Chain A
């Protein structure tokens, strides 16, 4: 009887949940008669300091409040001039001269000048946090010079082709404002957690930690605005279903964290615009190439040929594409590598026969992020795929922190580990370097690959500045990586974004991280 009652109750409540009526859309928020755009996001923004940290949520806010010398836009991504209206490179590829736009102002009215640019780069390099790793091996703070108010030069230690591809992530701060708020020589670190000193389209109005962040339009923005928006509220809504509800009720104008199923549901609703976009993010199952079993390349190839790639796409309701190279589609110089492994049991068995375990009979460990349903399903695909090779798979869910910790040592790095990796730039080096020994132990370097020939190729390519010469080098690098099979090359998952139809101007670029949004072009009609 008790059981029956419980079942009835569950059924009743579930039915109620399905009976949810059509969205009762409210109008957008207003403040002082100005339209306010509300975006619902899953991740908090603990600090806004451009020199200290970046991730999808932090950069969404930073991008709204700060400008960089250059900026990424569009699909496929391009780099366009921003605070620098143009730049020249010396013939030896060492010196970059940037010419700043005139009339750009910080939010307190100070001009954005060459000294501010120099100081901002120096601050990030000195603190050695956040984006510092991108340039610290090639650029010394003392080699950045403010020549005059509008000109700044960077002299690199050696030619480094990806240099400009990193600059969109180095935001320019107002040194006067920051230093005025310095505590015990911290270069304003404490102050910049919840304050800003930028020149971007929006200024910070309100921070309610754990709840929301509010931005207001900076009327003196040097580039002006397309549509007029009074401000933006970045509201934390952590559950996918709550995000959906907020969008339906019109309490949020734009949401980024919907699950595939929730996304399909809102796509059918009236007044909601959805779009899926290709991303720079790659998913792969990385082998430990120095592991006890997986150091055997024939075993790795056998697993790669046995894997059911189509099932991978089904996990995402079809909203994903298989990788045709270790490089994802938006990466410059990406080619379709011939002979990319696809499910082929005959070949899988052939490779297994050549391995040290020709009859299988082994167990491989598959480590994935606890609670990530998609990665759990991928594990099930693995179990299913490898059964025919007489290989069993042990699924081990770990927290991200513990997973990274295991991967950071070659002895503890698991046989197989599920990894999503988003390169920070579209330069091919951003992906290639992941297969360089210097990446070993980082989350994308859990393959512990160490191939002297490949290493040499990667180093040569990154220090060549002529693209005509670099491009074929990267074609070879891609082939070489596939040949070494350090991972099961997986898929590129599409990004899902949904917004109310009154939101205009949404611009996407694959180089942005999952759930990162560029607020600048957005407005409400």
Chain B
């Protein structure tokens, strides 16, 4: 196990490096001129040059990359040419918000998706299966931002059950940062009302965000369950007179969960990088908006910063999923 972990860790470093090189190249191939954009629409040529020199954009590309990596190793993430702010400060501000949102969202998706997938499989082609299918088809087909907008209009504006957007109320001071995760920090600091407020704000965006993931988890889980339920050992279990609940929940689900786990991991990674639409609708101060803004203005240090963080967490997720695979499936463990 230790060797497996170590090997993955080393591999991850190289993958991150590769990711960095690709992102760096892409952000430099784009025709947009970050110096001109930062200097402003009316700036004269001398002003643009000043930005170019100040941010080292006048050097050859490989040199810029080398300088960037060197600085990164000393913990300097650079600063945005567009906002003049330190990238690290921004990442610390925005990433935890997105992380919280995605965690919450994937929890909903798993908590609902796995049982619903099982139910749909057990009651295959019965009314309940069809009802669940409505959910899965719409979850895949409906655009997330539209769902978000509709949920906002109905549940926030019309019914007034939820806030329209934002992380907490305007007048509430966020808890002093420990982990930078608002829900965690407010609990650690004993600000229970802030915790409830944060929870209240996270529901709508998390639900809107979880829909596509929920739909694919249900679909994969249903398909796997159907296959598993027809296996010989299940028939055998039935023949031995085991209760249906025990057969489904213990024997079948454990095997059906393997591909579902893979799907959950994949979805989690996608969600981390794909929150921008939900963040826009609900004004969630997350990294999605930040990364997109940076990409639009060819602001390469924030692009790189966001890529490293998102890439790292994507890889971590896969890593954790692999570990869970090992726990669920003894064959994988033996191979390792």
A positions within 8 Å CB-CB of B: 2, 5-6, 9-10, 13-14, 16-17, 19-21, 24, 29, 31, 38, 46-47, 49, 52-55, 128-130, 132-134, 136-137, 189, 193, 208-212, 233, 235-239, 241-242, 245-246, 248-249, 251, 399-402, 404-406, 408, 412, 424, 438, 442-444
Given A46-B85, A401-B296, decide whether A136 and B42 contact each other with a Cβ distance below 8 A.
Answer: no
* A255 smallest CB distance to B (angstroms): 12
* B188 smallest CB distance to A (angstroms): 20
A128 close to B170 (CB less than 8 A): no
24 contacts between A and B (CB under 8 A): A2-B137, A6-B138, A14-B150, A16-B153, A19-B158, A31-B171, A128-B50, A193-B84, A209-B85, A211-B166, A233-B170, A235-B166, A241-B149, A242-B164, A245-B153, A248-B157, A249-B157, A399-B296, A400-B296, A402-B32, A404-B36, A405-B30, A405-B32, A424-B42
B36 close to A408 (CB less than 8 A): yes
A209 close to B158 (CB less than 8 A): no
Contacts of A239 in B (CB 8 A): 149, 280-281, 283
A245 close to B85 (CB less than 8 A): no
Q: Is B46 an interface residue (CB 8 A)?
A: yes
Which interface residue of A20, A38, A209 has the most chain B CB atoms within 10 A?
A209
Contacts of B133 in A (CB 8 A): 2, 5
Contacts of A53 in B (CB 8 A): 40, 84
* B65 smallest CB distance to A (angstroms): 21
B283 close to A9 (CB less than 8 A): no
Given A401-B37, A402-B31, decide whether A20 and B153 contact each other with a Cβ distance below 8 A.
Answer: yes
Given A210-B285, A249-B157, A402-B32, decide whether A237 and B152 contact each other with a Cβ distance below 8 A.
Answer: no
B50 close to A129 (CB less than 8 A): yes
Name the contact of B157 in the complex, choosing from A20, A137, A442 (C-beta under 8 A): A20
Give the residue name and chain of the A residue nearest to B90 (CB).
A209
With an 8 Å Cβ cutoff, the count of chain B residues facing the other chain is: 57
Contacts of A47 in B (CB 8 A): 83-85
**Given A9-B134, A31-B171, 5 more pairs with CB closer than 8 A:** A46-B83, A208-B174, A211-B166, A238-B280, A401-B297
CA distance A412 to B31 in the complex (A): 11
CA distance A54 to B166 in the complex (A): 26
Given A6-B141, A242-B152, A400-B296, decide whether A211 and B82 contact each other with a Cβ distance below 8 A.
Answer: no
* B147 smallest CB distance to A (angstroms): 8
Given A24-B160, A209-B285, decide whether A17 and B134 contact each other with a Cβ distance below 8 A.
Answer: no
Contacts of A137 in B (CB 8 A): 44
B164 close to A245 (CB less than 8 A): yes
CA distance A236 to B152 in the complex (A): 16
B41 close to A442 (CB less than 8 A): yes
A29 close to B156 (CB less than 8 A): no
Contacts of A136 in B (CB 8 A): 44, 46
CA distance A137 to B171 in the complex (A): 46
Which interface residue of A129, A210, A237, A245 has the most chain B CB atoms within 10 A?
A210
B40 close to A54 (CB less than 8 A): yes
Give the residue name and chain of the A residue nearest to B158 (CB).
A20
CA distance A128 to B54 in the complex (A): 12
CA distance A17 to B94 in the complex (A): 31
CA distance A237 to B156 in the complex (A): 15
B153 close to A241 (CB less than 8 A): yes
Name the contact of A133 in the complex, choosing from B43, B80, B289 (C-beta under 8 A): B43
Name the contact of A399 in the complex, choosing from B32, B83, B166 (C-beta under 8 A): B32
CA distance A55 to B85 in the complex (A): 16
- Interface membership of chain B positions 26-66, coded 1 if the CB is closer than 8 angstroms to chain A and 0 otherwise: 00001111001101111110110011000000000000000
* A269 smallest CB distance to B (angstroms): 12
- Interface membership of chain B positions 244-256, coded 1 if the CB is closer than 8 angstroms to chain A and 0 otherwise: 0000000000000
A193 close to B85 (CB less than 8 A): yes
Contacts of A242 in B (CB 8 A): 152, 164-165, 281-283
Contacts of B167 in A (CB 8 A): 211
Which interface residue of A132, A235, A438 has the most chain B CB atoms within 10 A?
A132
* B270 smallest CB distance to A (angstroms): 22
Q: From residue 126 to 156 of chain B, which have CB atoms closer than 8 A to chain A? A: 133-134, 137-138, 141-142, 149-150, 152-154, 156
CA distance A278 to B41 in the complex (A): 22
A6 close to B137 (CB less than 8 A): yes
Name the contact of A132 in the complex, choosing from B33, B47, B80, B154 (C-beta under 8 A): B47
B164 close to A17 (CB less than 8 A): no
Contacts of B39 in A (CB 8 A): 129
CA distance A54 to B141 in the complex (A): 42
B164 close to A405 (CB less than 8 A): no
* A373 smallest CB distance to B (angstroms): 15
Given A212-B170, A239-B149, A406-B31, decide whether A245 and B296 contact each other with a Cβ distance below 8 A.
Answer: no
B37 close to A133 (CB less than 8 A): no
B85 close to A401 (CB less than 8 A): no
Q: Is B93 an interface residue (CB 8 A)?
A: yes
A402 close to B30 (CB less than 8 A): yes
B164 close to A209 (CB less than 8 A): no
* A489 smallest CB distance to B (angstroms): 20
* Leading 9 A-B pairs by shortest Cβ distance: A46-B83, A210-B285, A401-B32, A405-B31, A245-B157, A405-B32, A133-B44, A211-B285, A20-B158
CA distance A136 to B45 in the complex (A): 12
Q: Is B221 an interface residue (CB 8 A)?
A: no
A236 close to B158 (CB less than 8 A): no
Q: Is B290 an interface residue (CB 8 A)?
A: yes
Contacts of B32 in A (CB 8 A): 399, 401-402, 404-405
Q: Is B275 an interface residue (CB 8 A)?
A: no
Contacts of A438 in B (CB 8 A): 44
CA distance A444 to B150 in the complex (A): 39
Give the residue name and chain of the B residue nearest to A245 (CB).
B157
Given A189-B84, A193-B84, A442-B42, decide whether A29 and B171 contact each other with a Cβ distance below 8 A.
Answer: yes
* B211 smallest CB distance to A (angstroms): 12
Contacts of B149 in A (CB 8 A): 239, 241
Contacts of A5 in B (CB 8 A): 133-134, 137
Given A245-B164, A443-B41, decide whether A237 and B157 contact each other with a Cβ distance below 8 A.
Answer: no
